[in-house]
Amino acid sequence: MAHAPENTLEAFALALRLGANGLETDVWTTADGHAVLDHDGVVRKLARNRPISNLRLEDLPPHIPTLQSLFETCGTDFDLSIDIKDEQSFETSATTARDCNFDLSRLWLCHYSSAVVIAQRPLLPDVRLVNSTRLPRIKEGLEMRCAKLSTNGIDCLNMHHTDWTGGSTTLVHKFGLYAFGWDCQYGYVLSTALRMGLDAVFSDHVDTMVEAYESEIGFVPRT
């Protein structure tokens, strides 16, 4: 969103043109079952905020796109990380992606609760499931959390970049999990994250991210 308004088709298309090979967004499900892209999940109507989940698609302002329109605009040749805002959006997102011929192995559905993502595993066997959290919130400790996620078939642990060290990245990998880092907004942060061995980095500044990746890894993969 450093280059265009957040969660807009313009921003997603520009990110891909600038060299990103993955996109990140937030999804809510409307009252009539459409997956839509918005961060806060509320719409100002009649002088008050109304939850997107209580509104039909036709009641939403035009700047809020659907997940289907993202695929129609940007195609399907990228990884897509979705921050699930309401639990019904797990199924809605997966169904929309499948209907749009998106490779479900490149769909990463994220939620802050490990219990919620574990409960989704038998329901969504083909997608990637991600526990997105902060290190201080992992009360049982990182090793126990990794063991629980791995045992239950969860694919990834996603934390703020300041929560990661080289040692914690190694630990996560030992359990067969991917390690993702978000809020990597500066070149030195991105370089450090890549050197620690993070498998994906999230940044609003795509140009800075691509420069860091090319510097540390030597090329930007085209998948």
Transcribe 158-177 into DSSP letters. Answer: EEEGGG--HHHHHHHHHTT-
Q: State how far the Cα of 107 lies from the Cα of 97, in Å rounded to an integer.
A: 8
Q: Are 142 and 171 in contact (CB under 8 A)?
A: yes
21 and 221 Cβ atoms separated by less than 8 Å: yes
DSSP code, position 97: H
What is the pLDDT, as a whole number, of residue 44? 77
Q: Which residues pair with 83 in a beta bridge?
A: 26, 110
Distance CA 114, CA 100 (A): 28
The CATH number given to 1-82 is 3.20.20.190
List Cβ neighbours of 173 (8 Å cut-off, separation of 6 or more): 179, 197
Instruction: Collect contacts of 14-17 with beta carbons under 8 A, ≥24 apart.
Output: 14/206, 15/206, 16/74, 16/78
pLDDT of residue 155: 98
In contact, 156 and 126? CB cutoff 8 Å: no
Question: What is the structure's pLDDT at 46?
Answer: 64
Question: CA-CA distance, 63 to 220, in Å (whole number)?
Answer: 31
Contact present, 158 and 131 (Cβ < 8 Å)? yes
Residue 209: enclosing H or E segment and its boundaries? helix 206-216
**CA–CA distance, 1 with 8 (Å, rounded to integer):** 9
| CATH code of the domain occupying 112-223 | 3.20.20.190
> Which pLDDT belongs to residue 222?
46
- Residue by residue, pLDDT tens for the chain (223 residues) are 778 888 999 999 999 999 999 999 999 999 999 999 999 999 977 668 899 999 999 999 999 999 999 999 999 999 999 999 999 999 999 999 999 999 999 999 999 999 999 999 999 999 999 999 999 999 999 999 999 999 999 999 999 999 999 999 999 999 999 999 999 999 999 999 999 999 999 999 999 999 999 998 875 554 4
Put simply, whether the predicted model's pTM sits higher than 0.85 gets the answer yes
Helix runs in 19-63, H state only: none
CATH 3.20.20.190, the chain: domain bounds: 1-82, 112-223
